[in-house]
């Protein structure tokens, strides 16, 4: 591992990951230059307080930032296609992300920790959380980090630099772009559906290639046999294990089997647990659980504690999370559903008719796959946000009411008026939130507030 002491490192981006990079590199003795294209990035006050000697530049990037720089540490929000990054690459300046810096530490650790790496368009955070809980139940000192938060270098710092027995890493395509040497013992691409295409020149193959970097090491590949792009990532000379919502095709693979009204999670011919023992709803979460089992068993962890942890797992906020029942209608917050695939999975998994609230910043997605899910599961659609007209056009002719709202409060009221007793109102926007809200959490708060207002009115 290259020493960083007295090296001049340019950090691009000053959000959570940028700050974690600054803290890590400062502790390694590097001289820091930090740049963020925003006029007032969120980490400025913290940087000045903790590392006052760091050189700070806010505003548009310029070529002068590269003067005297030995390497660049890049936040995932800064694309490799950024012109300054391209200039640096042309000059032979090394560019690493936080996952790569962690990978370099893991490579020289004694004893070396196990690494489970999880990526995909949808289900990453839930699967990562499942795997973390399962590893702990199996007796490992496991550290969950990455895209899920905390940032990996903050997690390492908070551990006093001591490695865990296992890292459980949620990795985005953005993080994988600048990850070169991570050698995961087991890794999965859960699925590949349209997301972030505004960053990938509207080219799904570029997006899939970024995801596939999770398999750059030598470990077990866990592949989704129901997803053509995931299944196609099998590499010659590597061990593969598959999962899917079909019976397993071999004794090492994972899937489901139905006996009357009971759905079993299976490995080969072995019944592992009933699907109705999971506390998280929907077939997409059955798939997540199968992937989690495949990853943990790839490390030879004992099965019994893994199953116990899955039975106890209660799910995560803002992922088809039940908010309330009002007058026989159940309201679900799926604000984390920021792409079409996530919303399809949410509609498919509810198992009931729903009035679905869609819309926001579509990130260049093709919304046409929503049409089939809307036709099958939606009683009506309520549209909000900037790309509402694009969604309306994509689902035109679906023979379901398509209504427009100016804000979340109005959307919830319109959805309620169109729902019947026993239905769901599902806020699963299939879009990012930044056109109307600070982030998906802010959007969720608006939805929950609107539902609570309805609850209060119903009890009057």
CA distances from 186 to 116, 169, 297 (A): 5, 11, 9
Backbone angles phi, psi at 125, to 5 degrees: -70, -40
Containing 283, the helix (H) or strand (E) segment is: helix 283-298
Q: How many C-beta atoms surround the C-beta of residue 71 within 10 A?
A: 18
Alpha carbons 245 and 254: distance in angstroms, whole number: 9
Instruction: Return all residues near 201 (Cβ < 8 A) that are at least 6 apart.
Output: none
Residue 124 annotated as catalytic: yes
The radius of gyration of the chain's CA atoms, rounded to the nearest angstrom, is 23
SS (H, E, C) 306-372: HHHHHHHCCCCCCCCEEEEEECCEEEEECCCCCCHHHHHHHHHHHCCCEEEEECCECCCCCCCCHHH
Q: Which residues pair with 403 in a beta bridge?
A: 382
Q: Is 196 a catalytic residue?
A: yes
What contacts 369, CB < 8 A, 6 or more positions away?
Answer: 193, 194, 340, 341, 344
What percentage of the chain's residues is helix, strand, coil (to nearest 5)? 35, 20, 40
Closest Cα to residue 378, out of 353, 357, 398?
353
Catalytic residue among 26, 114, 122, 124: 124
Length of the chain: 460
> Is 75:21 a contact under the CB 8 Å cutoff?
yes
Q: Active-site residue among 26, 114, 122, 147? A: 147
Backbone φ and ψ for 76, nearest 5 degrees, come out as -65, -20
Q: Which of 26, 114, 196, 336 is catalytic?
A: 196
Enzyme catalytic residues: 124, 147, 196
């Amino acid at each position: 591992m290259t020493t960083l002491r007295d090296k001049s490192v340019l950090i691009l981006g000053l959000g959570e990951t940028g700050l974690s990079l600054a803290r890590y590199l400062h502790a390694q003795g590097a001289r820091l230059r930090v740049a963020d294209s925003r006029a007032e990035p969120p980490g400025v006050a913290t940087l000045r307080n903790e590392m006052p000697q760091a050189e700070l530049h806010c505003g548009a990037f310029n070529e002068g930032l590269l003067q005297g720089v030995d390497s660049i540490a890049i936040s995932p929000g800064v694309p490799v296609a950024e012109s300054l990054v391209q200039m640096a690459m042309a000059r032979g300046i090394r560019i690493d992300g936080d996952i790569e810096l962690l990978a370099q530490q893991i490579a020289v650790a004694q004893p070396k920790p196990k690494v489970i790496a999880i990526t995909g368009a949808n289900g990453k955070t839930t699967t990562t959380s499942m795997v973390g809980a399962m590893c702990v139940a199996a007796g490992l000192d496991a550290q969950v980090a990455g895209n899920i938060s905390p940032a990996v270098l903050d997690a390492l710092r908070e551990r006093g630099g001591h490695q865990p027995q296992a890292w459980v890493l949620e990795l985005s395509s953005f993080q994988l772009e600048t990850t070169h040497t991570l050698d995961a013992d087991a890794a999965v691409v859960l699925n590949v559906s349209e997301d972030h295409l505004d960053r990938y020149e509207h080219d799904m193959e570029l997006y899939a290639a970024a995801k596939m970097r999770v398999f750059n090491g030598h470990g077990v590949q866990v592949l989704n046999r129901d997803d053509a792009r995931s299944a196609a990532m099998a590499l010659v000379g590597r061990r593969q294990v598959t999962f899917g919502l079909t019976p397993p095709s071999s004794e090492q693979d994972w899937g489901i089997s139905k006996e009357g009204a009971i759905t079993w999670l299976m490995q080969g011919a072995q019944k592992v647990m009933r699907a109705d023992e999971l506390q998280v709803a929907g077939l997409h979460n059955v798939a997540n659980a199968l992937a989690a089992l495949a990853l943990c068993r790839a490390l030879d962890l004992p099965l019994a504690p893994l199953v116990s942890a899955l039975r106890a797992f209660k799910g995560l906020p803002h992922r088809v999370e039940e908010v309330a029942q009002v007058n026989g209608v159940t309201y679900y917050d799926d604000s984390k559903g920021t792409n079409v695939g996530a919303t399809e999975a949410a509609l498919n998994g509810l198992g009931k008719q729903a009035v679905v609230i869609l819309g926001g910043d579509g990130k260049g997605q093709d919304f046409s796959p929503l049409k089939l899910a809307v036709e099958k599961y939606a009683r009506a659609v309520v549209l909000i946000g900037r790309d509402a007209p694009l969604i309306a056009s994509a689902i035109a002719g679906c023979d379901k009411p398509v209504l427009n709202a100016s804000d979340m409060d109005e959307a919830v009221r319109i959805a309620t008026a169109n729902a019947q007793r026993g239905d769901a109102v599902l806020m699963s926007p299939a879009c990012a939130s930044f056109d109307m809200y600070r982030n998906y959490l802010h959007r969720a708060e608006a939805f929950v507030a609107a539902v609570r207002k309805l609850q209060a009115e119903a009890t009057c």
